[in-house]
Structure 1
Amino acid sequence: MRAVDRKRVQTALDALGYRYFVDSAGEVGGLWDNRLFSFYLIGSGAQMLQVRGRWPRRVALERLGAMLEFTDAWNRERIFPKCYVRVLDDGMVHVTTEVSVPIQHGLNDVQLEHHVQLGLMSGMMVFDHLDEMFPDPVALQPDGA
């Protein structure tokens, strides 16, 4: 078991063959199917690793009830990931996913890669379901329309 830091998260992403970026604050993130995922070390001394995903689309406030029903059902029926909706300042609704794992005692490389994969793949499942429930109207337009 070794302590988890941003460099180890980057090493895990490298080992998994993923492309990622490091922002100006030093946070690690990347795009998977145009969906933004970020990797956070939370708490003093990095007590938690959190993989947070954001659905790239936003929906009108009138759909808030349907979005809440979806996230409530997801969280009730599945362990991972936690998902929730947020109403943005412009009144649009967006969905975030989170998988958090305690790391205060460290992780080995296999465990770290597993948790990175778990956060990404389970978040992608949520977003795939949302894409089916709320199809992108632009993507449905025929070419040249």
Structure 2
Amino acid sequence: MGFFTKDTTAPEAGALEPLSRDRLTAVLDARELQYGIDDDGDVGGYWDGHLFYFFLMGGEGEYLQTRGRWNREVGIERLAELTALVNTWNAEKLWPKAYVRAEDATVGVYAEHTVDYEPGVTDAQIDQHLACGITTTLRLFENLDEHFPDEAAEAKAKLEVED
């Protein structure tokens, strides 16, 4: 069998269970975390005011991706500055992968942590994946907040008014 040839033999006894939305939500429930499921069946929620989604991707839903969006409004004129900060993060950190997108008059910053669970996954691995994806993304967002304190203060004030 070649390195890139998929092994199609029967799984061994005690094989790992496939990734599923039910297993994902069970892990969130076990941590007593608040989340919702949108019309597309995607699981998401807010952590520290930032929107996160947990996507099952791939032909069999075997990839788990934690994706967060920085909840700050930064003008498009600061795109180069934000891009440089995110590129520095990507060069110095293993995860999450982060990227910047121009969105009309503002700039969006996203972070993703994706793992392939084609062979299956334990509940502990799902829990670790979610914890890693959320906490490292929040560290990135805190780092960006330090460079954009006015935008961070404005977003915090909006959250306090909404509560």
Match of 2:148?
134
Deviation for aligned residue 1:57: 1.1
Aligned length: 140
**Partner of 2:56: helix, strand, or coil?**
strand
CA shift digits 1:27-72 (9 cap, x unpaired)? 1000001100000011100131000000011211111111011111
Question: In the alignment, does 2:129 pair up with 1:110?
Answer: no
1:9-88 to structure 2, matched below 5 A, reads: 9-88=24-103
Deviation for aligned residue 1:16: 1.9
Larger CA Rg, structure 1 vs 2: 2
Between the two proteins, what is the percent identity of the paired residues?
39
Structure 1 stretches of 4+ moved >4 Å = none
Which of 123, 133, 150 pairs up with 1:119? 133
CA shift digits 1:107-143 (9 cap, x unpaired)? 10111100011110011001111111101253699xx
Cα-Cα RMSD:
1.5
Richer in helix (by share): 2
In 2: Cα distance, 1:139 partner to 1:30 partner: 17
In 1: Cα distance, 2:155 partner to 2:41 partner: 34
In 1: Cα distance, 2:81 partner to 2:93 partner: 18
State the TM-score, normalized to the length of structure 2.
0.82
* Gaps in structure 2 of 5+ consecutive residues: 1-15, 158-163
